[in-house]
Structure 1
Amino acid sequence: MLVASSGNLAEGTVVQVQADERAEGELSRRRFLRRAGALVAFGAAAPVLAAACGDPDAGRTSAPRQAQGATVTLYRQEGCSCCATYADYLRDNGFSVAMETVDDLDPVRERYSIPEAAVGCHTSEVEGYIVEGHVPVEAIQRLLAERPEFDGISVTGMPISSPGMGEPNGTPLDVLSFRSGQVNDYMSLTTF
């Protein structure tokens, strides 16, 4: 539609083109907002839709599958605060943790046949494996994923840069494996 102005058709054409561009811009903006609103609504509804459609992972955390549902029984001595910090670290990474406080860890270690060379701060059991000391979750996840033929894994002592003891400082943290009294290297981590 052309709008004539006071005597000059070209001016009216320019006015109409500008009006058409404004209307088209307004329409594009409305179209954009409508589409964006639909996308936001769909994004918010996606987890609900996935759950309704039977997606078993709907609503789960981003914790690796090896940790989801795995329960760690952590044996510790009374008054050891780093054990509670380590338990929180495990929970933060998708494990369920049951702590049992004992007067002496030696009988627990004897029951699980943990070699002296593999002794750490506390003793844990997860899915039939022993996890001795401040072992990073990456090592536990690997253990549960691979299901190797040994009794457990260990970080000996109480390394200052291990989980539950402090932040990684770039110093390699050696994780050992043990079976039938024999201790071997399992993996070494600098970040976890």
Structure 2
Amino acid sequence: MKLQTLILSSVLGLMAGTALAGASVDVYKSPYCGCCGKWVEHMRAQGFDVKTHDVEDVPGQRKKLGMPDAYGSCHTAKVGNYLIEGHVPAADVQRLLKEKPKAVGLAVPSMPPGSPGMESAKPMPYETLLVKADGSTSVFARH
């Protein structure tokens, strides 16, 4: 009986991981930004269902969605009840969806070299921030 339980929990775990990866992501980006397109490719390669929306006013869209401007980057995305600002790695988004913290979402402010979509021969360390409802942040991941 223990073996059957172990097999069932393993299968359910794999199914849950697949469901997270297949989450729908709406990306609001400038039609003129190439790195945003590269981030979209990164997310799709990790199994996310990504829809892009070209907007002329990314900061306006960010504000409308509810991400504080202080954490702004070149694109804002919505996945589930969360916002994703900038070049956040897909693994961080998957972790967010799995852990479901009370938060606005995740942000990688600016456009750090070496982040997804900003690949570089000279990557720099950067942090993914968990943005809370009051606008404060904590470090969610270090890269």
TM range (shorter): 0.7 to 0.9
Does the 8 A contact of 2:113 with 2:124 survive in 1? no
- Give the count of matched residue pairs: 131
Shift of 1:66: 4.9
Which structure 2 residue ranges, 5 or more long, are not aligned? 1-10
Query: Secondary structure of the equivalent of 2:112?
Result: coil
Query: Secondary structure of the equivalent of 1:67?
Result: helix
What is aligned with 1:97? 50
Could you list the per-position Cα deviations for residues 71-127 of structure 1 after superposition, in whole angstroms to 9, with x for gaps in the alignment? 110000121011111101000001010000001112211112211221112000001
Does the 8 A contact of 2:85 with 2:109 survive in 1? yes
Moved over 4 A (4+): 167-170
TM-score w.r.t. the length of structure 2 is 0.81
Could you list the per-position Cα deviations for residues 123-160 of structure 1 after superposition, in whole angstroms to 9, with x for gaps in the alignment? 00001100000001121011000111011110001111
- Structure 2 residue 40 is the aligned partner of structure 1 residue 125: no
What is aligned with 1:165? 118
What is aligned with 1:85? 38
Could you list the per-position Cα deviations for residues 23-46 of structure 1 after superposition, in whole angstroms to 9, with x for gaps in the alignment? xxxxxxxxxxxxxxxxxxxxxxxx
What is aligned with 2:20? 67
Could you list the per-position Cα deviations for residues 16-75 of structure 1 after superposition, in whole angstroms to 9, with x for gaps in the alignment? xxxxxxxxxxxxxxxxxxxxxxxxxxxxxxxxxxxxxxxxx7xxxx9x435332011000
What is aligned with 2:59? 106
Which structure 1 residue ranges, 5 or more long, are not aligned? 1-56
CA–CA separation in structure 2 for the residues paired with 1:159 and 1:170? 8
Larger Rg: 1
Larger relative strand fraction? 2
Does the 8 A contact of 2:21 with 2:94 survive in 1? no
Query: Secondary structure of the equivalent of 1:103?
Result: coil
What is aligned with 2:131? 178
Q: CA RMSD in A?
A: 2.4
CA–CA separation in structure 2 for the residues paired with 1:124 and 1:168? 26
Q: How does 1:2-41 map to 2 (within 5 A)?
A: none
Shift of 1:171: 3.7
Cα distance change of structure 1 residues 66 and 189 upon mapping to structure 2, 3 Å threshold: farther
Shift of 1:169: 5.6
TM-score w.r.t. the length of structure 1 is 0.61
Does the 8 A contact of 2:112 with 2:124 survive in 1? no
Q: Give the number of the structure with larger relative contact order, counting CA–CA contacts within 8 Å between residues 6 or more apart.
A: 2
Amino acid at match of 2:113: I
Amino acid at match of 1:69: G
Percent of counterpart pairs with the same letter? 33
